[in-house]
Chains A and B, each alone.
Chain A
Amino acid sequence: MDESPDCVSGNNDSGIDKSAAAPDADIQKTLFFNYHEYALSLYQDVTAYGLGPLIEHQRRIIATHFPNPYAAPNTADAMDTRIVRIPRSYEVEADRYPQFSTLLPGDEKGAYTDGEGTKEFKIVGCVEGQYYGYTSVSPLSRYLTADEFLQLVEDINKFLKQSFDPLSWKTFLWNIFDTATFFVFSHLPTKLLSPDVNATLRLERYVEEQNEKFRQKHVPVKIIRPRKGGYLSLDFQIPKPTP
Chain B
Amino acid sequence: MAIPNKPSGQSWLSRIKTWLVTNPNNPGLETKYNYQAFHSSRYLFFFGGRIRTVKRNPAQTVSILLRNLKPLFPVGVGILIVLPLVLFLVYEAKWLWHHISGSVVILFVYGWIHCFVGLLRASYMDPGVLPRNIHITDNAERVGLPAEYNSSVTMPGYKRAHGDMTGSYKPQSEPEVQIKYCPTCKIWRPPRASHCSYCNVCIMNMDHHCRWLNTCVGQRNKRFFLSFLFGTVTSCIWIIVLSFVHIFAYRREHPDISLAHSLRDVGASLFLVIYCLLGVIFPGLLLFYHFMLGITGITTREYYQIPRGMDSFEFLRNIWASTFNTHSYWKNLMVQWCQPRGTSTVRMRDRYQQGDMRFESVEFGAII
Contact = CB atoms under 8 A, between A and B. Distances in A.
B225 interface: no
A195 B343 CA distance: 11
A87 B192 CA distance: 15
A32 B342 contact: no
A230 B131 contact: yes
B65 interface: no
Contacts of B131: 228-230, 232
A38 B340 contact: no
Contacts of B356: 72
Contact of B345 (A85, A127, A197, A228): A228
B1, B326, B357 — which one has the most chain A CB atoms within 10 A of its CB? B357
A69, A166, A179, A227 — which one has the most chain B CB atoms within 10 A of its CB? A69
B138 interface: yes
A29 B154 CA distance: 10
Contacts of A233: 134-135, 188
Interface in A68-94: 69-75, 85, 87-88, 90-94
B253 interface: no
Contacts of A179: 114, 223, 227
A28 B156 contact: yes
Classify chain B's interface size.
35 or more
B138 A35 contact: no
B363 interface: no
A74 B190 CA distance: 30
A171 B223 CA distance: 13
Interface in A1-59: 13-16, 25, 28-32, 35-40
A143 interface: no
Contacts of B138: 63, 66-67, 127-128, 130
Contacts of B151: 13-14
Given A38-B146, A63-B137, A67-B137, A166 B334 contact: yes
B136 interface: yes
B341 A72 contact: no
B188 A35 contact: yes
Interface string A222-243: 0000011111110100000000
A121 interface: no
A16 to B, nearest CB: 7
A139 interface: no
A32 B137 contact: no
B136 A232 contact: no
Interface in B284-306: none
Contacts, number: 174
Interface stretch (B9-17, B56-64, B173-181, B209-217): B173-181
B227, B340, B356 — which one has the most chain A CB atoms within 10 A of its CB? B340
A90 B156 contact: yes
Interface residues of A, number: 66
A82 B192 CA distance: 28
Given A13-B147, A90-B155, A200-B343, A73 B2 contact: yes
A90 B177 contact: yes
Interface in A86-117: 87-88, 90-96, 98
Contacts of A210: none
B237 interface: no
A72 B156 CA distance: 35
Interface string A153-186: 0000000000111110001100100010011001
B323 A90 contact: yes
A130, A163, A166, A231 — which one has the most chain B CB atoms within 10 A of its CB? A166
Contacts of A66: 135-138
Nearest to B125: A187
A31 B335 CA distance: 26
B113 A90 contact: no
Interface string B141-179: 000001111010111111100000000000001111101
B224 interface: yes
Contact of A232 (B187, B331, B338, B340): B187
Contacts of B159: 28, 91
A70 B175 contact: no
A167 B228 CA distance: 23
Contact of A229 (B134, B155, B177): B134
A164 B136 CA distance: 26
Contact of A72 (B114, B187, B188, B353): B353
A230 B346 contact: yes
Nearest to B204: A230
B188 A93 contact: no
B224 A166 contact: no
Nearest to B173: A25
Interface in B15-57: none
B197 interface: no
B367 to A, nearest CB: 8
Contacts of B190: 88, 95, 98, 232
Contacts of B192: 95
Interface in B193-248: 204, 223-224, 227
Interface of A: 13-16, 25, 28-32, 35-40, 63, 66-67, 69-75, 85, 87-88, 90-96, 98, 127-128, 130, 163-167, 171-172, 175, 179, 182-183, 186, 194-197, 200-201, 227-233, 235
Which 6 pairs across A and B sit closest by C-beta, in order of nearness?
A72-B355, A38-B146, A94-B158, A196-B340, A69-B357, A230-B345
16 contacts: A13-B148, A15-B155, A30-B174, A39-B146, A69-B357, A72-B354, A90-B323, A94-B158, A179-B114, A179-B223, A182-B113, A182-B114, A228-B345, A229-B345, A230-B187, A232-B130
